[in-house]
DNA sequence: ATCGATTTGTTTATTGGTTGAATTATTTGG
DNA sequence: CCAAATAATTCAACCAATAAACAAATCGAT
């Protein structure tokens, strides 16, 4: 076994503290001053000033005149993420639609393009070519706004390896598709760094950014299949091979309905899109059983229902909660919160774009060096 | 929402690099030289030398003459964890026994005391008092060896809050027991820092340290109840409130046998100690169904069976593997490894002691400052 | 109006810690 | 016995954060 971890030098210190300052501004409800950042991070005012200078010079932060006049003393200059700073391109490919959007540093959706079209008949390269067209329109719109694009992220309904290759996407009929490579050869997408991730994972990240506060939750996405994104302590848990969250194939009834995966009684056979319509009570109960297992295993206290579950939430809620109350060991000690997703069907696409700018916020030093 | 994270100063750099060097030595099969550490960590030889000096002065490392003569050049001085360095005290309280052990920095069990006695009739303070007696004997034995004790960790079969209070331990009939406080008033245990954790969690940590290589696995402990420790990327996952791993109450048969927790069809009713003896096939199948859910959710590729499952492993294995093959979505893409625990019934106690010295290895700077 | 109090932000000398190059130490091989 | 090779140490330089002094801008009170 080789030693893990990497050495820390002074430049790492600066990188870390740059990220700390930027994150503090990003997570702030108001526009904090340098002094406020100093007290909330524990860094000296002098250090904060120096770091902020770099971030402003790099186009990540902007200085504003502060609206609120409080007491005595020199007025503070409010700092905020720059809407003119680098933006993220979010892409999504799904069974019956393609989508692209541009989200700026502040999290605003600046442009949004969606085309409805069935992808099941198309080859992966054909699907990705149409998506590339959509992406190009988004890039042009961004460029018209003077926005630089820091990178792109693509959401797919399937298992994605860490290197971005889609191992299998059953509902698209994809196998071992090198999506980043196929996208990068398209016009306009040449040098763009592109990452690929599971649709539910990115939707979970979208929820993490959209709704404040919750740092650990399970995002359950009901589409044609059922996937889940697991967020632990503010970070997406991907599993050893990136294949976590396959809640759709958790066994609910061991001798139940046969599933296309070969097993019997998978959740997907009771709480899939069609099954909800047929019998909402059964779907809720099955979901509750599977979710109780997740809570017992991971001690997660918040569950977010997304995708097609979001509009059905009022109808599903009682049945799910009943099973949770009955089957979660610690239900008596602390409740489990159940809520519908805040972002609608755009969650995955916005999560993808958000992932790009989150990467930027988590490591601004990399961006500053790249553009220096 | 307040900003998370803390600032990094130069002293943090040194703390990080001290831990990096120490960890490199700890994870090394042989006795690495300063030069070897330098190349494997990326730190300069000069820096490594300075850090190693501190670690030797603090009693954490020792220098050895190197046995193997390779080629030309000045021979390297081999570095290793010091057996005379600070040791950890591992404690365990369970339904039918108490145990204490002293493990030195190198991981060797230096002393071990176990007494069989039923704890179900005793009050928490009475149980802890007898355990304190055992601990005192262990401390005296360590002191006779000239070993300093850096801290203690206690394994209990129950839910433990982050502050060390045992919220509930059903089989001991404990509720809201402040174990660290009760132990600290006992003779000889005065100033000792004591942490408390779930038995399965600590056993999982024991396995992590004992068996090399696997960084993500599920440790399933079959005792009177069934618990699990989840190790992700080399770290124990405790969940939001520290109550993760309650696999014993994952639903296997939704309308099955009633459980003492109030639900129906919990795993514990099919794969508990008595049930294995009664019907090993049923136990294996139920375990397989629950474990398949874990693998689908967390993409874990290694499962370790401990506690009473370890001796039964050959009998359980085929039944579990059959269910895993059938119910794990990615079973065709990559296999799930199943194995028996390497440490026997001592896993939790040794894991507890190991947790103490692991904390030391993860942050030697804290220890060096304390003893400077 | 003016001065002191107050808070923000910048400047400057100092300190801690890593780096890189030169130096010393210790062995093998010709 | 000397050259080559490898290990470890010494020392000046550099980078980044800190602490303290200083400059800027406002409020409040006389």
Q: Give the pLDDT confidence score for residue B68 in this predicted structure.
A: 61
B10-66+74-81 maps to CATH 1.10.10.10: yes
Tell me whether B8 touches chain A (CB under 8 Å).
yes
Stretch 247-276 of chain B: residues touching chain A, C-beta under 8 Å? 247, 249-254, 261-263, 266
Average pLDDT (B243-252) is 95
A170: closest CA of chain B, how far (Å): 11
Q: Which CATH superfamily is domain B87-202+347-366 in?
A: ATPase, nucleotide binding domain (3.30.420.40)
Written out in words, the top-level CATH class of the domain with range A87-202+347-360 is alpha beta
Q: Which residues of B316-342 are buried (b: 16+ CB within 10 A; e: fewer)?
A: bbebbbebbbbbbbbbeeeebebbbbe
Stretch 278-337 of chain B: residues touching chain A, C-beta under 8 Å? 289-290, 292-294, 296-301, 326-330, 333-334
By C1' distance from the Cα of A72, the closest nucleotide is D27
Q: Which residue is nearest to nucleotide D18 (CA to C1')?
A: A44
By C1' distance from the Cα of B47, the closest nucleotide is C18
Q: Give the pLDDT confidence score for residue B71 in this predicted structure.
A: 72
At B35, the pLDDT band (50, 70, 90 cuts) reads very high
Question: Does residue A4 surpass a pLDDT of 70?
Answer: no
At B208, the pLDDT band (50, 70, 90 cuts) reads very high
Residue that wins the pLDDT comparison between A262 and B73: A262
- The answer to whether B255 and B179 have CB atoms below 8 angstroms apart is no
Question: Does residue B144 surpass a pLDDT of 90?
Answer: yes
Question: Does residue B281 surpass a pLDDT of 50?
Answer: yes
By C1' distance from the Cα of B365, the closest nucleotide is C17
- DSSP structural state of residue B266: B
What does strand C contact on the protein, if contact means CB under 7 A? A 7-10, 33-36, 45-46, 49-50, 52-53, 71-77; B 10-11, 13-14, 17, 42-47, 50-51, 69, 71-75
Q: Give the pLDDT confidence score for residue A240 in this predicted structure.
A: 81
Question: Does residue A104 surpass a pLDDT of 90?
Answer: yes
Question: Does residue A291 surpass a pLDDT of 60?
Answer: yes
Angle at A278 (CA atoms; ends A276, A280), nearest 5 degrees = 45
Helix (H, G, I), strand (E, B) or coil at A82: coil
Q: Give the pLDDT confidence score for residue B11 in this predicted structure.
A: 84
H/E element, B300: none
Q: A10-81 and A212-340: same fold? A: no
Residue that wins the pLDDT comparison between A71 and B259: B259
H/E element, B166: strand B166-169
At A51-64, the pLDDT tens digits run 999 999 999 999 99
Q: Give the pLDDT confidence score for residue A73 in this predicted structure.
A: 80
Question: Does residue A15 surpass a pLDDT of 80?
Answer: yes
Give A-chain residues touching B296 at CB under 8 angstroms: 246-247, 249-250
Q: Give the pLDDT confidence score for residue B67 in this predicted structure.
A: 56
The CATH label, of 1.10.10.10, 3.30.70.120, 3.40.50.1470, 3.40.50.10860, for the domain at A10-81 is 1.10.10.10
CB contact under 8 A, A333 and B159: yes
Q: Within 13 Å of residue B34, how many CA atoms lie on the same side as its CB?
A: 20
Question: Does residue A319 surpass a pLDDT of 90?
Answer: yes
| CB nearest to A216's CB, from B1, B240, B253 | B240
What are the domain boundaries of chain A?
10-81, 87-202+347-360, 212-340
CB contact under 8 A, B3 and A24: yes
Q: Give the pLDDT confidence score for residue A3 in this predicted structure.
A: 45
At A372, the pLDDT band (50, 70, 90 cuts) reads low
Count of residues making up chain A: 372
At B4, the pLDDT band (50, 70, 90 cuts) reads low
Tell me whether B36 touches chain A (CB under 8 Å).
no
In 3D space, the residue among B197, B219, B85, B3 whose CA is nearest the CA of residue A42 turns out to be B3
Q: Within 13 Å of residue A313, how many CA atoms lie on the same side as its CB?
A: 15
Tell me which of A2-16, A141-155, A297-311 is least confident.
A2-16
Fold of B212-340: Nucleotidyltransferase; domain 5 (3.30.420)
Q: Which residues of A138-152 are buried (b: 16+ CB within 10 A; e: fewer)?
A: bbebbeeeebebbbb
Nucleic acid strand D within 7 Å of B10 CB = yes
Gap from B215 CA to C18 C1', in Å? 31
At B286, the pLDDT band (50, 70, 90 cuts) reads very high
Q: Give the pLDDT confidence score for residue A212 in this predicted structure.
A: 65
By C1' distance from the Cα of A73, the closest nucleotide is C7
Nucleic acid strand D within 7 Å of A71 CB = yes
């Amino acid at each position: 076994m080789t030693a893990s971890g990497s050495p820390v030098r002074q430049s790492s210190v600066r990188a870390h503290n740059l990220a700390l300052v930027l994150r503090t501004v990003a997570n702030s409800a108001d526009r904090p001053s340098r002094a406020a950042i100093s007290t909330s991070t524990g860094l000296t005012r002098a250090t904060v000033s120096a770091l902020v200078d770099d971030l402003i010079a790099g186009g990540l932060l902007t200085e504003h005149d502060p609206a609120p006049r409080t007491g005595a003393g020199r007025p503070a200059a409010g700092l905020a993420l720059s809407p003119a700073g680098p933006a993220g391109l979010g892409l999504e490919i799904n069974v019956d639609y393609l989508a692209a959007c541009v989200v700026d540093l502040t999290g605003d959706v600046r442009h949004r393009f969606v085309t409805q079209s069935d992808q099941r008949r198309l080859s992966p390269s054909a699907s990705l070519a149409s998506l590339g067209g959509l992406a190009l329109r988004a890039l042009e719109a961004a460029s018209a706004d003077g926005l630089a694009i820091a990178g792109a992220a693509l959401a797919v309904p399937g298992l994605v390896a860490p290197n971005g290759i889609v191992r299998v996407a059953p509902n698209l009929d994809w196998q071992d598709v090198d999506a980043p490579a196929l996208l990068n050869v398209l016009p306009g997408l040449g040098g763009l760094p592109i990452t690929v991730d599971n649709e539910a994972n990115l939707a979970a990240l979208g929820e993490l950014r959209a709704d404040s506060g919750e740092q650990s939750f399970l995002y359950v996405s009901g589409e044609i299949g059922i996937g889940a994104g697991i967020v632990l302590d503010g970070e997406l848990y991907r599993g050893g091979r990136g294949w976590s969250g396959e809640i759709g194939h958790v066994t609910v009834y061991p001798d139940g309905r046969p599933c296309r995966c070969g097993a019997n009684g998978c959740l997907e056979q009771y709480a899939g899109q069609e099954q909800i319509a047929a019998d909402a009570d059964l779907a809720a109960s099955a979901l509750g059983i599977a979710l109780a297992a997740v809570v017992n295993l991971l001690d997660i206290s918040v569950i977010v229902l997304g995708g097609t579950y979001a509009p059905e939430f009022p109808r599903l809620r009682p049945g799910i909660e009943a099973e949770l109350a009955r089957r979660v060991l610690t239900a008596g000690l602390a409740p489990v919160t159940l809520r519908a997703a805040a972002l609608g069907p755009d969650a995955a696409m916005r999560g993808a774009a958000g992932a790009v700018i989150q990467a930027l916020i988590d490591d601004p030093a990399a961006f500053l060096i790249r553009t220096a």
